[in-house]
Amino acid sequence: MHAKQATHTMLAMHGVSKSFLGVRVLHGVSLDLAAGEVHALVGENGAGKSTLMKVLAGEHVPDEGTITLDGRSHHFSHPAQAQAAGIGIIHQEFALLEHRTVAENVFLGREPTRYGLVDRRAMEARTTQLLTELGELDITPRTYVRDLSVARQQTVEIVKALASDVRVLVMDEPTAPLADHEAGLLHALVRRLAARGLGILYISHRLREVFELSQRVTVLKDGRHVTTVRTRDTSTDAIVRAMVGRELSAYYPPRARPEEVGETRLTVRGGGNTRLRGIDLTLRAGEVTGIAGLQGSGRTSLARALFGAAPFTTGTMTVGGPPLRPGTPRRAIRAGIALVTEDRKAEGLALRQSVRDNALLVTRAVPDRERPPAARELTALLERVRLHARGEDQEARYLSGGNQQKVVIAKWLAARPRVLLFDEPTRGVDVGAKAAIHTLVRDLAKEGLAVLIVSSELPELIGMSDRILVMAEGRIAGELPAGASEEDVMRLATASSDGPEPPPSTDPPSRSDPPPPSAQAPHEGTAPTAQEGAE
Amino acid sequence: MTGTALAPKADRAPAKTRAPRGRSRLADPAVGVWLAAAAVTGIGWIVVAARGGDFLTLTNVVGILQNSVALGLVAVGQTAVILTGSLDLSVAYLISLGTLVAATTMEDGSVVTGVLAVLALSAAVGLANGLIVTGLKVNAFIATLGTAFILRGWIEENYTGPAGKVPASFQHLGYDRMGPIPVSLFLLLAVAAALWVVTRRTRFGHHLYATGGDEHAARLSGVRTRRTVIAAHVLCSLCVGAAALFLASRLGAGAPWAGTEARYDLESIAAVVLGGTVLAGGRGGVAGTLGGVLVLAVLDSVFNQLGVDPFFKNVVRGVVIIAAVALYARRGARRPA
């Protein structure tokens, strides 16, 4: 398919290391790229792919290591320098101005001028030329970016990179926000770019497209280079093994025995919204259900939908009673649902308030009229979650990550939930506190709560869950029993969208899709300390 | 390969292609606000005519335009700052101080030194605002409120009342007419045209929009966002200086209340927002702002002719501003559909 076989090394990164706040997220990683090559970069969440690419793009300055482009060594300390050297990066979140035209975006920062004024005509002509070269005849330079589909916005990003004469184009999960047929078009575009002699570094979780597009694959794991192989000499299984190969060493509390699993607490039938489709889900008392999936697969969206923060717009949801109208977190709390969010600092805690105020946040906001919370209960509750704090008056921001998380859990337990949802329960939590949280979660399940855990740490998810639902592209791709292997999970999670699809969603067809999910998609690598430093 | 119990692939219609919609020009606030100005004029004419008056007389129209000059100059400058996502609350006190500096300097020296002194003062205040906002990273609201307090303190310490005297030669700016049209209107039009060219046609203007639209994206594209914000503040203050010169010429002296009595700070922001410029920055422009100024001026004139009480007048102004912004917000929200 590809036009040129790798001829000579154009870009070489050698021995790149990077630490954030003392946590090493890249350990001497090396990578090279030839002109005309599509080089895929794969690895689990937190493997360091995005960090490595941000080093290349000048967004992070490496602690060690060298970058050589066309024989010249570079030290980038600002994105503009990397850009000038010929490195373009297409982020998962587009850096486009919605309310400006395509041409204005493409030439932002380098507008051509004539007699001191911006030469709009030249700008638009050049944009048209670039778009024509790419065969993108449907985009006109005067269109406002906000009026373009996500796929076309991405094309504009690519054109923007091309306009500054890039040699190396980094694409960070470019197909994640795209629908199937759009992904196909993007693949064709990537091939055309490679044929023009660009070197392309292609980060993807979808192994199928990796095999379709790339000449070589590099696998990263825990910030280390695992292997680089020619794509045609390897197999999906080999790549998956290289991605996850690590031992399950941590201790997890014993799973639920069958007799401990009780009545159904929450049911969803055909749940869907802009990010989710055809969700069927049952949560039972005493059981811990794990949700696996790659970033952007809809894991977090599912938790938020159940909690009413971004509710289902189709399907029905019942929580031990009549169907719940989709709605607001407040309604969900009244129904007995609690959500420990992924971003503790922004969504879980009022950092400048005391432990006591934080723990009482929910009960004060949504009071239980029959059983108002007593002060004595609070102390018991904080003991229950084994909080280590200097007292109930200590401000939440001074607690360690683990203790902050315990306060968040206490806050929800005070509301006496029946369904407890955890999104990344131990992100940014040290090892000791992690085990404590795992034990606590299991104890809560034993007491009859229905528990759901979303986690990108596969060992944790497998260790904790009584069954695992794997999500991919907004759907539940399959269910695995307790103790499934990481390979099984990854295989389901990386299954490409070319596979079978669930029944069409009942979304009214006239409504088209929302703005780019990238706006809310969790971004790997931006908070490496939280995720990767945790291990 | 994909897991259990999944139905065969359904033929879904391609969902995501959002073709560029033919956006009605009416949906552009810059056009809408001029239509609104026309509508307000029409309604005013009818209402006044119903009371036996005549709204669209030459004197009245010229009066409306004359009254728009000072606010227009300030609002046009304010537009540049707001486009970058910043704000300037110090304009009212800068006008007051500007008139005082103009009048006192002109009393002893020449008109030229007076003009230069005011422009230098303005540029300095704008530079200070810009540096505080970008360098010290103080929120623009607080930063310019702070400079407003400082200017106020300076004025109250040094001037107890009207001061200085503007020579008759400089009063031509405030009172002369070419035919029926006041000379000062040309000043406004010239400044507005200059700013229109700067925002729409220069690289700086493009960067103004980019910085306000998405500062991160702008910086990643190589835009020097700090400089852009600082320059916008200087530009704004220079426009304010022009307004101060005009008012000094009208008043014949400097006055500590010249800028504050008419509340040019909040009034100018109201005009900008009414003209469709988004307070968060990145969208809007000078043309809309002029429309906003005109709407406010026409409303004023109608109320004056009808002799309504100030309470009712302010209620209507408030309602108009809120309604306009609510309308723009609805449009913005409906956009991705």
- What are the pLDDT digits (tens) for B42-75? 998 998 898 888 888 888 898 899 989 999 999 9
Q: For a pLDDT cut of 70, what percent of chain B falls above it?
A: 90
Token match 């420990």: residue? A340
pLDDT at B269: 95
Mean of all residue pLDDT scores within chain A? 83
Among candidates A1, A43, A64, A52, which has minimal Cα distance to A25? Answer: A52
Query: A118–B1: do the CB atoms touch at under 8 Å?
Result: no
Which one of B202, B203, B278 makes the best mutation probe of the A interface by having the most chain A beta carbons within 10 Å? B203
Distance from CA of A511 to the nearest CA of B (A): 7
pLDDT above 90 for B292: yes
pLDDT above 60 for A265: yes
Distances (CA, A) of B314 to B82, B265, B303, B320: 24, 16, 10, 10
Among candidates B279, B2, B103, which has minimal Cα distance to A478? Answer: B2
pLDDT at A372: 66
Which one of A147, A166, A235, A476 makes the best mutation probe of the B interface by having the most chain B beta carbons within 10 Å? A147
List, in order, residues 6 or more apart from B155 with CB less than 8 Å away.
B93, B96, B97, B100, B256
Separation between Cα atoms, residue B64 and residue B295, nearest integer Å: 10
The burial of A520, by beta-carbon neighbours within 10 Å (0-12 exposed, 13-18 middle, 19 or more buried), is given as middle
Reported as a pLDDT band with limits 50, 70 and 90, residue B14 is very low
pLDDT at A373: 63
pLDDT above 50 for B1: no
pLDDT above 70 for B18: no
pLDDT at B298: 93
* Weakest-pLDDT range from A300-314, A381-395, B13-27, B304-318: B13-27
Among residues 212-271 of chain B, which lie with CB inside 8 Å of chain A?
Answer: 213-214, 216-223
pLDDT at A371: 67
Query: A140–B20: do the CB atoms touch at under 8 Å?
Result: yes
pLDDT above 90 for A343: no
Q: What is the pTM of this model?
A: 0.72
pLDDT at A500: 43
Q: Residue A512: left if φ>0, alpha if ψ -120 to 50, beta else—which one?
A: beta
Per-residue tokens: A360: 């009482």
- What are the pLDDT digits (tens) for B112-171? 999 999 999 999 999 999 999 999 999 999 999 999 999 999 999 999 999 999 999 999
Mean pLDDT of the A19-48 span: 85
pLDDT at A93: 77
pLDDT at A507: 41
Query: B20–A151: do the CB atoms touch at under 8 Å?
Result: no
Mean pLDDT of the B296-314 span: 89
Angle CA(B89)–CA(B92)–CA(B93) in degrees, nearest 5? 100
Separation between Cα atoms, residue B67 and residue B71, nearest integer Å: 8
Collapsing DSSP to helix, strand or coil, A407 comes out as helix
* Weakest-pLDDT range from A65-74, B12-21, B236-245, B268-277: B12-21
pLDDT above 50 for A529: no
DSSP per position, A247-305: ---S--PPPPPGGG--SEEEEEEEEE-SS--SEEEEEETT-EEEEEE-TTSSHHHHHHH
- What are the pLDDT digits (tens) for A108-150? 988 998 988 999 999 999 999 999 888 888 899 999 998 888 8
* Weakest-pLDDT range from A121-130, A202-211, B178-187: A202-211
pLDDT at A2: 45
pLDDT at B21: 45
Per the CB < 8 A criterion, the answer to whether A253 and A436 are in contact is no
pLDDT above 60 for A264: yes
pLDDT at A431: 64
pLDDT at A91: 82
Distance from CA of B300 to the nearest CA of A (A): 33
Give, as one character, the DSSP assignment of residue A409: H
Separation between Cα atoms, residue B93 and residue B154, nearest integer Å: 10
Which domains does chain A possess?
Answer: 1-86+166-246 (3.40.50.300), 95-165 (no CATH), 258-336+417-532 (3.40.50.300), 348-415 (no CATH)
pLDDT at B85: 94
Chain A residue with CA closest to B23: the answer is: A147
Distance from CA of A145 to the nearest CA of B (A): 9
Mean pLDDT of the B83-97 span: 96
Among candidates A143, A515, A142, which has minimal Cα distance to B336? Answer: A515
Query: A499–B20: do the CB atoms touch at under 8 Å?
Result: no
pLDDT above 90 for B327: no
Mean pLDDT of the B249-277 span: 93
Mean of all residue pLDDT scores within chain B? 88
pLDDT at B15: 37
Mean pLDDT of the B242-271 span: 94
Token match 């400097």: residue? B254
Query: A504–B20: do the CB atoms touch at under 8 Å?
Result: no
Mean pLDDT of the A167-180 span: 84
pLDDT above 80 for A518: no
pLDDT at A144: 92
- Print the SS3 string covering chain B: CCCCCCCCCCCCCCCCCCCCCCCCHHHCHHHHHHHHHHHHHHHHHHHHHHCCCCCCCHHHHHHHHHHHHHHHHHHHHHHHHHHCCCCCCCHHHHHHHHHHHHHHHHHHCCHHHHHHHHHHHHHHHHHHHHHHHHCCCCCHHHHHHHHHHHHHHHHHHHCCCCECCCCHHHHHHHHCEECCEEHHHHHHHHHHHHHHHHHHHCHHHHHHHHHHHCHHHHHHCCCCHHHHHHHHHHHHHHHHHHHHHHHHHHHCCECCCCCCCCCHHHHHHHHHHHCCCCCCCCCCCHHHHHHHHHHHHHHHHHHHHHCCCHHHHHHHHHHHHHHHHHHHHHHHHHCCC
Reported as a pLDDT band with limits 50, 70 and 90, residue B332 is low
